[in-house]
Amino acid sequence: MYHLDAGPLSKDEIREAAHLIEQAGGRSWAEQEAEPQRSRAMPALAAAAPASEGAQALTSLARMVTYRER
């Protein structure tokens, strides 16, 4: 699966990789880590003082990827 010259993964290989990640606890860890990371990112975003539209877009994106369903 990790061979450098293997090219893109097939749909079956992607499903198998997702299954292996799930079995190893990767999804659970990522879900637990997402909110603390988002919470730390928001003050950094505010400190950068982006334009209002950009700040709203980035905040929405952070919320979407943190709380998305499969």
Mean pLDDT of 33-42: 92
Whether residue 50 lies inside any domain: the answer is yes
The burial of 43, by beta-carbon neighbours within 10 Å (0-12 exposed, 13-18 middle, 19 or more buried), is given as exposed
Q: Indicate if the alpha-carbon torsion angle 35, 37, 43, 48 is positive or negative.
A: negative
Domain holding 54, by residue range, is 34-70
Total structural domains within the chain? 1
46 has a pLDDT exceeding 70: yes
Q: Are 17 and 1 in contact (CB under 8 A)?
A: yes
The answer to whether residue 20 is domain-embedded is no
Cα distance between the two ends of the chain: 23
User: pLDDT digits over 11-34, tens only?
Assistant: 999 999 999 999 999 989 998 999
Is position 3 within any domain? no
The answer as to whether 28 is a domain residue is: no
Residue 2 is assigned to a structural domain of this protein: no
**17 within a domain of the structure (yes/no):** no
Q: Taking all residues of the chain, what is their mean pLDDT, rounded to a whole number?
A: 89
